[in-house]
Chain A
Amino acid sequence: MYDMIIIGAGPSGCFLANEYVQKGMKCLLLEAGEHYQRHTYPRSELTGNSKLYWSGGIELNSRADIGFLRPKAVGGGSIVNQALLDPFDDIAFDAWREKSKLNFFKKENFQPYYEQVLNNVPTQEIPKEFRNRNAEIFKEGFEKNGYQCAPLVRAQKNCQYEKGNDCIECLNGCRIDSKQSSAITALPKALDGGLELRDKMTVIKIEILFNKCYVSAVDEFNEQYTFESGYITLASGAIGNTKILKMSGFDKKLPALGKNFYTHPQFMSLAFYDEVINSHKGPFQAMKSDDANFRKNNFKLENVFGPPVALSMLIPSFGKSHMQRMKDISKIACIEVAIRDFIPGEIKVNSKGKVKIIKNLKGIDLETKQKGLEAIHNIFKSTGAKEIIDGQFGIGLHLMGGCGIGSSDSKSVTTENFHLHSSRRIFLADSSIFPSAPGINPSLTIMAQSLMASEKILKEVS
C-alpha cells in the first residue's frame, strides 16, 4: 500500500515524486517505457524511434497530416527533446487566466518556481564559437530581413563541443549525460529519498473504491499487476492521462475530458545551398526567433535539423532522384515554424483502447502557418538558397490539454487544486492540464507548475 502512485516518469512525474518523497510519502512511480542509462540509450534512428516513442515512433491524427511524437521512457520528453527552457510571457498567462478563470496564472506567481527549477537544472547558452553554418544562415537571414533572434539556452552541462560532439545524436538520449533530463536531475534525488520506480509497466486502468486507489498495469510480458494507494498522480501527458481516464470510465463525469487538445504543430522547411552546411554537426540548434511581431502573429521559428530518416520522409518522391537528393543532405539548411494553435483538437479512445486524435489545421492556425512559411522563405532567399522544400507533414511534439484546468466542471477537467473535478484522490500537474497553447516551449513550465502544484497537493493529502 502506497501513499501515492505516480503514473508517468516524465518531467512532471519525476519532479512531483521528488517533492512527495521529501515530505515522507511512500511513493511508487510507474512508467511504461524503459529506464535507460547513458550507455544503454538506442544508437540508431531505427531503434530510437521504435523504442523511445509510443506506437513504434509516430501516431497520426485522423487526417494523417500531423504526426504526434509521444515519448515513452523514464525521463519522458526530456530524454528526446532539445531541452529548451523558456519561461512563459504575459501573453501566455493572460490567455490561460482568461480561459481557466483562475487568477493564479500570472508571471509573478510562477517566477519563484521557475527559479527553483533552474536552481536544480543546469542550463547553458550555446557558445558562439560552436555554432554551425545552419545557425549562421539563420542569424544572417534574420538580420537581413529585420527579424530578431537570440541564442538558445538549453538544459545541458558539458556537451564537450571542443571534442567534436554532435548533439543530433542525443535525440535518442544523451550518451554523456550532459542533457539535463529529469531522469538525471529530479529522479535520482527522489530515488535516494525512497521512491520506488517500476519501468516497463503500462497502466491500463485506475479505480477508486472505498477511499482507496487501485492501479492496474501490465508489464512487458503482458502480466497484470494491481497496486494500491491512497492517492494517484497522473503524469502521462495529454494523450496518456486522457487515455487512462477514459479507459477507466471517468469520462462519464468529466464532459470536457479529451477536449481542448493543442500541439504547437511544427513544419520543417529544407533549403538546398551550393555550399556545404553540415547542419548535423555540433550543437545543431543554436538560435531561436525572438521577435515580437512573430509572437503577435502566433508563430516562432526554430533553427532545427533532422537525422537521415527524418529528412528522407520530408523530401518528396522516391527512386533515384530521391537518392540523389539524400546525397546532398550536407548542403541543406533547415528552419521550422512552430504554430501557437488556437483551434483545439480532441483525443478519443475507441472500444479497443486505441487512441484516435482529431486535430485539423484550419482557419487562423493555417493562416499562422502561411505567415511563418513566408518568413522562412525570406530568410532562405536572402541567404542564397537554390531551392526550398516545405515539409507537407506537421509534427506535434508538444502534447498539451485534454485534461485542462479551470473553474468550470463542464468546460475543464482539473480544478485549481490540481485534482479532478470528479475526484479529490487523483491529481494532475503536467502538460495535460494546460488550458490552451502558450506558443512557447512547455518543458520549463511543466516542471515549475508541478512544483507549484506539489504544495497544494501535499496540503490536500495531509
Chain B
Amino acid sequence: MKSLYLGERAEKGLIKLGTVIIPGDKDLPSFSQLEQLQEIDIMLKELPKDDREGLIILLSILSLLPKFIIKVLLLIIEKGATVNGPIGSPFRLLNMGLKGPVFTLYYSNNSEQNQEILNKLNYATQINMKEEDLMLQKVKNNELIENPNQEQIEEIFNNAKKNQKALRNIPLSSRVKQVQNLLITIRDNEELIIKKIQEDTKKSAGDALVSEFFGVLDYLHFLVDNAEKALKDEKIKTPIALLGKKSRVYYESLGTMLIISPWNYPFYQAIVPIATSYICGNITLYKPSEVTPLRGLIEDLLLKAGIDLDFIKVIYGDGKVGSQLIDQRPDKIFFTGSVNTGKKIMQQAAQYIIPVELELGGKDASIVFEDCNLKRAAKGVAWGALTNLGQSCTSVERIYVHSAVYEAFKTELLNEVRSLKQEISKDGDFGHMTSHMQTKIVAEHVKDALSKNAKLLTGNNWDYESDAIPPLVLEDISEEMLIYNEETFGPVLPLIKFTNEKEVIDDINASDLGLSASLWSKDKAKCDRVTRELNVGNVSVNNVMLTEGNPYLPFGGRKYSGIGTYKGISGIRSFAISKSVLIDADSSKIEVNWYPYTEKKYIGFSLMTKYAFTKGLLNFVKFALKGIGLESYSQKAKR
C-alpha cells in the first residue's frame, strides 16, 4: 500500500483497525488482504483538510495500540453512540469516522477482488450499456483490433471508405473543438498516461512527463490554434494575363491516412500525427510499435474526448500487419522509425505510387567550439545524449570538441554525467532501455569501438546485457567504428577532437544521415555560417534538441534521415492535399488561347509575349494594348 496522504504509521493503524472490524472468515478475506488499499486516497483527496488530518492522527494513534484494545474502544464508541443528545455526538463521530473508511474500502473499491467479495454477498448488479458505449467497455476489457487477418484488414479499409463521407460532414471547426477536448482529456489524465508510458517503455517519469506528456499538450495547443488558419481556403495571386479570374488553393482531406509509429516516444508519436491527421479530415489508421502498444490508452482518451472511433482506428500488430495495411493502398503513409524499415515501406508504397512521409534515424552531432560556456555546453550535451536514455532519433551521438578546450570540456562532461541518477521514479534522471534488441545493438557498437582502441571513460560496470545501461562516455573515436557511422540509439557520448571549422562541417556532411545538429559558441557570425553549411534538417544554436520543442517549427530530416516535414503550418498541410482552383465567370467570351490559331493571332500573341516579359513602363502599356487587341480579335476570329 502506498497512500499519498497516510504516513507509514497511519497506514499501519488503518490495517490494524480494518482487521478488527473485518477479521475475515472462511468465505471472505480480511481487511488486511485487500489489494487496493491505496484507493483510500480517492476518499482522502475529497475530504476537507481538517477531517483528513484528524483521521490521519487517529489512525496513527491506533497503530500504537494492540488489537484487543482497539476492539474494546470500538465497543465503547458503539455504546456511546447510542446516547442521545450532545454527549453521544463525539462517539457517533468516531463511529462513522472509523467504520466509514474501512467499510467503504472493503465493500466498494475498483478492483476485481471487490467483485469477488460482492459475489460472496450475493450482491451482483449490472447495467447494459448503450451500443455506442460498448466500445468504451471493450477498451476497458482490452478487446482491441489485434493482429487482424487479411479479411479483417480489407473490412477496415472498406469501412474507412464509407466513413470518409461521414467524416466530411463534420466541419473543420467541430474537429478543432474535438481536438481541444482531447487536449483537456489528456491534461486531466496525467497519472494514467504516465503510468501507461512507463509500463511499456521503462523510461523515467521525468522523461515521460517532459517529452511525451508536455510535448503532446504543447503540440495540441498549437494545432488547435493554427489548424483553421492552415487549412482554410487560400486566396492566390492571379497574374495580369488572367485578368478578371480568381485563383484559390483548397486544402482537402487525403482520404485514408496510415500512421506507423516507433517505440521510443509511443505516446507523442501516436497523438501528434493522429490528431493532425484527424483535424485534416482523414480516416486515420494508426499502427503502434508492437514493443510499446500502450494498449487501449489512445482509444480510451479519444472516446473520453468524444471522438468517434469509426474515424480513428488503432490496429495492433507487427511489421507484417503494417505491410498488409499498405497493400490496401491508403492515400498516404506517415512513418517514423528506422532507416531500414523506412526504405522497405517506401519500396512497397512505390508499387502503388502512395506518397510517403518518412521520419527516420540520425547520427546527430553536437559541435563544442572553443569560445562557448563549457559548463552549459556540457550540461546541454549530456541531456541531449541521455534524455530518454539516448533513444531519440535526434539524440546527440557524436560530440565534436575543439582541441583547445577538449580536456576542460571532458572534465565538465564527466562531472555532469557522474552526478546523474538512473531511476524510473519521479526522482530519476533517466530510466532503462525500452527494447532489449536495442540494448544488444548498443553493446555491439561499444564492443566494436573498444576493440578498435576507443577508451570507455564511464559505465565500466555495465555487463553489456542489462537494459539499465549507464551513460557511456567514449574517446579516441575513429571513422572505421560502427559508433562513428551508425545510429546507436543508446546512452553513448563519443568524444571527437577537432581543430578547425571546415573539417568538422565536412565530417558531419559526409554522413549518410542528416537529421539535426547542435552547436555551442559565443560567435554569432560563426554560428550562422556553420548552421547554413550543415546538410541537416534542423539546427539548435547554443541549445540542443530544441527545434522539436517549438511546435511552430517544421521537423524533418535530409538524406537517409527522411522525406518531408511535419509540425508547423506546413506540417499540418502535409496531412492534407491541396487542390488548385481557378474560377472564371460564365460569359460569352472566347479566350485568346482557344482556337482558332490564325496567323494574325500568332503574330499578335508573339508580340504580346515579348512585351510582357520585357521590363519598362512602355512595354507594359504595349503589352496591355496588344492584349486588348487580341481579346477583341479572338471574339470574332473565324476559320
Q: Is the CB of B125 within 8 A of A166?
A: yes
B236 interface contact, C-beta 8 A: no
Please tell me which stretch of A108-116, A255-263, A309-317, A448-456 contacts chain B, meaning at least 4 of its Cβ atoms lie within 8 angstroms of it. A309-317
Q: Is the CB of A65 within 8 A of B88?
A: yes
B42 interface contact, C-beta 8 A: yes
Within 8 A of B (CB), among A44-74: 44-47, 49-51, 55-58, 60, 62-65, 67
Number of A-B contacts (CB under 8 A): 159
Q: Which of B20, B46, B108, B121 contacts A326 (CB 8 A)?
A: B121
- The minimal Cβ–Cβ distance linking B299 to chain A, given in whole angstroms, is 12
- The minimal Cβ–Cβ distance linking B595 to chain A, given in whole angstroms, is 57
A164 interface contact, C-beta 8 A: yes
Q: Which of A55, A56, A322, A329 contacts B123 (CB 8 A)?
A: A329
Q: Is the CB of A164 within 8 A of B20?
A: no
B21 interface contact, C-beta 8 A: yes
Nearest chain-B residue to A326 (Cβ)? B121
Most chain B beta carbons < 10 A, residue from A58, A318, A354 = A318
Please tell me which stretch of A167-175, A231-239, A412-420, A426-434 contacts chain B, meaning at least 4 of its Cβ atoms lie within 8 angstroms of it. A167-175
> How distant is the Cα of A278 from the Cα of B108 in the complex, in angstroms?
18
Q: Is the CB of A60 within 8 A of B45?
A: no
- The minimal Cβ–Cβ distance linking B280 to chain A, given in whole angstroms, is 26
Q: Is the CB of B25 within 8 A of A323?
A: yes
A169 to chain B: which residues have CB within 8 Å? 125-127
Within 8 A of A (CB), among B89-146: 89-90, 92-93, 96, 99-100, 103-110, 114, 118, 120-123, 125-130, 133, 136
Please tell me which stretch of A8-16, A35-43, A134-142 contacts chain B, meaning at least 4 of its Cβ atoms lie within 8 angstroms of it. A35-43
A176-B129, A326-B121, A327-B121 given as contacts; is B110 within 8 A of A64 (CB)? Answer: no
Q: Is the CB of A354 within 8 A of B21?
A: no
Q: Is the CB of B126 within 8 A of A308?
A: no
- The minimal Cβ–Cβ distance linking A175 to chain B, given in whole angstroms, is 5
B45 to chain A: which residues have CB within 8 Å? 50
- The minimal Cβ–Cβ distance linking B339 to chain A, given in whole angstroms, is 42
Q: Is the CB of B104 within 8 A of A176?
A: no
A163 interface contact, C-beta 8 A: yes
Number of residues on chain B facing chain A (CB within 8 A): 59
- The minimal Cβ–Cβ distance linking B557 to chain A, given in whole angstroms, is 39
Nearest chain-B residue to A319 (Cβ)? B23
Q: Is the CB of A392 within 8 A of B82?
A: yes
- The minimal Cβ–Cβ distance linking B25 to chain A, given in whole angstroms, is 6
Within 8 A of B (CB), among A188-208: none
Within 8 A of A (CB), among B283-322: 303-304, 306
Q: Is the CB of B108 within 8 A of A309?
A: yes
Most chain B beta carbons < 10 A, residue from A177, A280, A308 = A308
Nearest chain-B residue to A176 (Cβ)? B130
A307 interface contact, C-beta 8 A: yes
Q: Is the CB of B121 within 8 A of A50?
A: no
Q: Is the CB of A323 within 8 A of B86?
A: no
Q: Is the CB of A39 within 8 A of B129?
A: yes
- The minimal Cβ–Cβ distance linking A314 to chain B, given in whole angstroms, is 10
Q: Is the CB of A63 within 8 A of B108?
A: no
- The minimal Cβ–Cβ distance linking B111 to chain A, given in whole angstroms, is 9
A330 interface contact, C-beta 8 A: yes
- The minimal Cβ–Cβ distance linking B606 to chain A, given in whole angstroms, is 63
Please tell me which stretch of B47-55, B349-357, B456-464 contacts chain A, meaning at least 4 of its Cβ atoms lie within 8 angstroms of it. B47-55
Q: Is the CB of A318 within 8 A of B121?
A: no
A165 interface contact, C-beta 8 A: yes
Q: Which of A46, A51, A316 contacts B104 (CB 8 A)?
A: A46
B171 interface contact, C-beta 8 A: no
Size category, A interface: 35 or more
Give per-residue flags for A289-312: 1 if the beta carbon is below 8 A from chain B beta carbons, else 0: 000000000000000000111001
A65 to chain B: which residues have CB within 8 Å? 84, 88-89, 92
Q: Is the CB of B108 within 8 A of A45?
A: yes
> How distant is the Cα of A454 from the Cα of B92 in the complex, in angstroms?
43
Q: Is the CB of B21 within 8 A of A322?
A: yes
- The minimal Cβ–Cβ distance linking B492 to chain A, given in whole angstroms, is 40
A281 interface contact, C-beta 8 A: yes
- The minimal Cβ–Cβ distance linking A75 to chain B, given in whole angstroms, is 17
Give per-residue flags for B34-66: 1 if the beta carbon is below 8 A from chain A beta carbons, else 0: 000001001111111011000000000000000
B217 to chain A: which residues have CB within 8 Å? none
A43-B110, A46-B104, A51-B46 given as contacts; is B122 within 8 A of A329 (CB)? Answer: yes
A281 to chain B: which residues have CB within 8 Å? 125
Q: Is the CB of B125 within 8 A of A63?
A: no
Q: Is the CB of B128 within 8 A of A165?
A: yes
B244 interface contact, C-beta 8 A: no
> How distant is the Cα of A166 from the Cα of B124 in the complex, in angstroms?
9
Q: Which of A170, A307, A312, A319 contacts B127 (CB 8 A)?
A: A170
- The minimal Cβ–Cβ distance linking A33 to chain B, given in whole angstroms, is 11
> How distant is the Cα of A97 from the Cα of B74 in the complex, in angstroms?
49
A252 to chain B: which residues have CB within 8 Å? none
B48 to chain A: which residues have CB within 8 Å? 55-56, 354
> How distant is the Cα of A40 from the Cα of B44 in the complex, in angstroms?
21
Q: Is the CB of B108 within 8 A of A168?
A: no
> How distant is the Cα of A56 from the Cα of B101 in the complex, in angstroms?
11
- The minimal Cβ–Cβ distance linking A434 to chain B, given in whole angstroms, is 26
B475 interface contact, C-beta 8 A: no
B85 interface contact, C-beta 8 A: yes
> How distant is the Cα of A307 from the Cα of B108 in the complex, in angstroms?
9
Within 8 A of A (CB), among B499-519: none
B20 to chain A: which residues have CB within 8 Å? 318-319
> How distant is the Cα of A60 from the Cα of B93 in the complex, in angstroms?
8
A44-B114, A320-B23 given as contacts; is B108 within 8 A of A308 (CB)? Answer: yes
B78 interface contact, C-beta 8 A: yes
Q: Which of B46, B118, B122, B126 contacts A56 (CB 8 A)?
A: B46
Nearest chain-A residue to B92 (Cβ)? A64
Q: Which of B50, B89, B108 contacts A46 (CB 8 A)?
A: B108
Q: Is the CB of A40 within 8 A of B304?
A: yes
> How distant is the Cα of A327 from the Cα of B110 in the complex, in angstroms?
20
Q: Which of B21, B90, B114, B122 contacts A318 (CB 8 A)?
A: B21
> How distant is the Cα of A50 from the Cα of B121 in the complex, in angstroms?
23
- The minimal Cβ–Cβ distance linking B443 to chain A, given in whole angstroms, is 45
> How distant is the Cα of A276 from the Cα of B121 in the complex, in angstroms?
12
B133 to chain A: which residues have CB within 8 Å? 38-39, 175-176
B496 interface contact, C-beta 8 A: no
Q: Is the CB of B125 within 8 A of A46?
A: no
B22 interface contact, C-beta 8 A: yes
- The minimal Cβ–Cβ distance linking B41 to chain A, given in whole angstroms, is 10
B85 to chain A: which residues have CB within 8 Å? 63
A55-B48, A318-B99, A327-B120 given as contacts; is B129 within 8 A of A63 (CB)? Answer: no
B126 to chain A: which residues have CB within 8 Å? 164-166, 169
- The minimal Cβ–Cβ distance linking A44 to chain B, given in whole angstroms, is 5
A124 to chain B: which residues have CB within 8 Å? none
> How distant is the Cα of A278 from the Cα of B84 in the complex, in angstroms?
33
A163 to chain B: which residues have CB within 8 Å? 128
A55 to chain B: which residues have CB within 8 Å? 46-48, 51
A65-B88, A160-B128, A169-B126 given as contacts; is B105 within 8 A of A46 (CB)? Answer: yes
Nearest chain-A residue to B84 (Cβ)? A65
Q: Which of A176, A280, A309, A327 contacts B125 (CB 8 A)?
A: A280
A46-B104, A307-B108, A312-B107 given as contacts; is B123 within 8 A of A280 (CB)? Answer: yes
B81 interface contact, C-beta 8 A: yes
Q: Is the CB of A308 within 8 A of B123?
A: yes
B599 interface contact, C-beta 8 A: no
B28 interface contact, C-beta 8 A: yes
Give per-residue flags for B1-35: 1 if the beta carbon is below 8 A from chain A beta carbons, else 0: 00000000000000000001111110110000000
* 27 A-B contacts (beta carbon < 8 Å): A39-B133, A45-B108, A46-B42, A57-B46, A57-B100, A62-B89, A64-B90, A64-B92, A65-B88, A163-B128, A164-B126, A164-B128, A165-B126, A166-B125, A312-B99, A313-B99, A313-B100, A313-B103, A317-B78, A318-B20, A318-B99, A319-B71, A323-B24, A323-B25, A324-B25, A330-B123, A393-B92
Which 8 A-B pairs have CB atoms at the shortest separation, nearest pair first?
Answer: A45-B108, A64-B92, A56-B46, A166-B125, A308-B107, A312-B103, A330-B122, A56-B47
